[in-house]
Amino acid sequence: MDQHTPPLEHSDILIVDDQPTNLRLLSRLLSRKGFEVRQAINGTMALQAVQAKLPQLIMLDIMMPDLDGYEVCSRLKADPKTADVPIIFLSALDDVFDKVKAFTVGAVDYISKPFQSQEVLARVQHHLALQAMNQSISKLNTELEQQVKERTQQLEEVHAKLTTLAFHDELTGLPNRALFINSLNEALKNNQADSSDQFALLYIDCDRFKVVNDSLGHSVGDRLLTAVAHRLSNALPSVQILARLGGDEFAILLTNIQEIKPAVEVAEKVIETLLTPFKLEKYDVYVNASIGIALSNESYTQPQHILRDADAAMYRAKKQGNRYQVFDPTMHQKAVQTFQIETDLRKAISLNELRLNYQPIIDLKTGKLVGFETLVRWFHTNRGLISPIEFIPVAEETGLIIPIGYWILEQACQQLKTWQENGLANEELTVNINLSARQFSQIDLIDQIDQVLTKIDLDSRYIKFEITESAIMENHQKAQNILEQIRDRQIQICLDDFGTGYSSLSYLDYFSIDTLKIDKSFTGRLDGTPAKLGLVPVIINIAHHMGMNVVAEGVETEKQLNQLQELDCDFGQGYFFAKPLDVENATKLLESSPQW
């Protein structure tokens, strides 16, 4: 029994009977057993007594003058406050009809007069026990319902938190890629149902974020991302969704637009918003954004497709130095071509599709052949010759330039060794090998060089490495260390395409450079007149003053040759002398001992 429920012997019982004899008899019987007994001599008094204090049990006479027991019972059962109180009818009547009516109006039992004490006590105790049990069960149900309600609320709160975690970026609080994809899916469905319901996607990449991470640490990088997200959210309240896709990439979805103009305006707003530096600790951190924009059309059926195209436009913007770029189908075609080139290029070495060509380098004072520059060519099994302009950037971007560069180094050294062994290469003949910026940054570059030279047993004095200005400007100290190790092996260094990049005189003095190569864009302007000399005389004078020699690339006419000779240029290469030659023709050229 519940601790708040009184013991059965102290239960409050209301006896309703218009006969005083019956009232005294029942009251004495029940009081002796410890029950608290109240009396009412008619139906009206009974209803008043119940309202004054709710009893645990009512013993109700059926036949009374004002309101009979049926009416009193009906009224009590109709009232929610008294409906659960058990009622036992008292009557001398003993026909089936009256009993049925008694149970119909809500009685729980029926005691016939004259009363039997043991029967009365047994029935009263039984129904009080049932009532106590029902109250206990009801309370337990109420408590259980409350617990279920509280548990349900807790589960709903946990579900809401999990949903937030699943669809929002933990660092910035912005919608994440999953939620953005869902929104993008919805926009696609709307557009397919109604082509006038257009939308635009802006793919945003934060430039220089890696620099911040590497220099100031990841904690500052995280704060920067949070600050960028906060600033963009405040600046762009009208966009449907601004999401962080991951890393330093964000995306914006614009719906209910009819043309590209609103998307361009948002892109310009993003760029403007990020112009002001972010103050992180003691630093002013500047962030630029490259943005790709893709407008919906009927060809888009998957979110990944429009994301891909916006990403391609972003990459084009970054590559061209623009702040934003609107996607056009040629970008996708270019991306597919690039992917195919990358795939095929990975197989090119094993399929023996790469070849080395050798372009002669001529001493402009003697007219003799003094070296070759090695140039890689790709003869694709199905496509034929693929231009280096097409595949070298892909190799650089994907890192394939590392294995390709090693293959070039090994092949060029082996060919030079072969020429030497066949008596075709005198002590002046050298081979120039290009080192890309990606190769130059490899920590095991020197080990690779030593490995090849040892394997082929080639004297390192007969090779030269050509590097670009950008390769050595990315990290001065590291570049100087690598160059010194190369020079320690008596390998000469040529600075390629001088004049097209940084062209700083200070780094020429800082680094150990043997040769400057004048870019063909300068050589090509020469026409035999002083007016088109440009920077060529300056470059030659600087090189000679600093103890370096000069190679002019792209020599194509006799006028250019004559003018370079007049300027005291040391060496030249170009179509005037010979195009890049395959191994067979380069060998024949050596056999002919050419003189220009």
| Separation of first and last alpha carbons in the chain | 120
54 close to 79: Cβ distance less than 8 angstroms:
no
Same domain, 313 and 414: no
In which residue are the tokens 């590097």 written? 467
Q: What is the pLDDT of residue 335?
A: 75
Q: In this predicted structure, what is the pLDDT of residue 543?
A: 92
Same domain for 129 and 209, yes or no, is: no
> Which two three-digit tokens encode residue 303?
């979110």
pLDDT tens-place string over residues 471-507: 887 667 788 889 999 999 999 999 987 766 555 566 7
**CA gap 205, 203 in Å, rounded:** 7
Cα separation, 451 vs 457, in Å, equals: 10
Q: What is the pLDDT of residue 363?
A: 97
The span from the CA of 224 to the CA of 66, in Å, is: 87
Residue 243 domain flag: yes
Within a 13 Å sphere around the CA of 401, how many CA atoms are in the beta-carbon half? 20
Domain boundaries, position 456: 395-591
**In angstroms, rounded to a whole number, what is the distance separating the alpha carbons of residues 55 and 28?**
18
Residue 158 tokens, joined = 């946990």
pLDDT for the residue 266: 94
- What CATH number corresponds to the domain at position 411? 3.20.20.450
Question: Tokens for 287?
Answer: 């962030």
**Which one of 327, 355, 374 terminates a domain?**
327
- What CA–CA distance (Å, rounded) separates 86 from 197? 67
User: Based on the structure, what is the number of domains in the chain?
Assistant: 3
**Distance from C-alpha of 554 to C-alpha of 594, rounded to nearest angstrom:** 19
User: 304, 327, 350: which is the final residue of a domain?
Assistant: 327
Secondary structure of 364-392 in the HEC alphabet?
CCCCEEEEEEEEEEEEECCCEEECHHHHH
| Judgement on whether residues 214 and 321 belong to the same structural domain of the protein | yes
One domain for residues 404 and 302: no
Tell me if 124 is assigned to some domain: yes
- pLDDT value for 261: 92
Q: Is the peptide bond before 114 cis (omega within 30 degrees of 0)?
A: yes
Same domain, 231 and 182: yes
| d(C-alpha 322, C-alpha 238), whole Å | 25
Regarding whether 240 and 92 lie in a shared domain, the answer is: no
pLDDT on residue 110 = 87
Phi, psi of 235 (to 5 degrees): -80, -20
Residues 307 and 230 in one domain: yes
| Beta-bridge partners for 514 | none
| 293 shares a domain with 238 | yes
- Which residues does the chain have with pLDDT short of 70? 1-9, 93-97, 474-475, 499-506
**Residue 24 belongs to some domain of the structure:** yes
Q: What is the CATH number of the domain that holds 112?
A: 3.40.50.2300
The model's pTM: 0.59
**What is the per-residue pLDDT for 504?**
59
Report d(CA 310, CA 267) in Å as an integer: 12
pLDDT of residue 3: 46
pLDDT at res. 4: 47
User: Cβ distance 569 to 550 under 8 Å?
Assistant: yes
Cβ burial of 91 (10 Å; 0-12, 13-18, 19+) is: buried
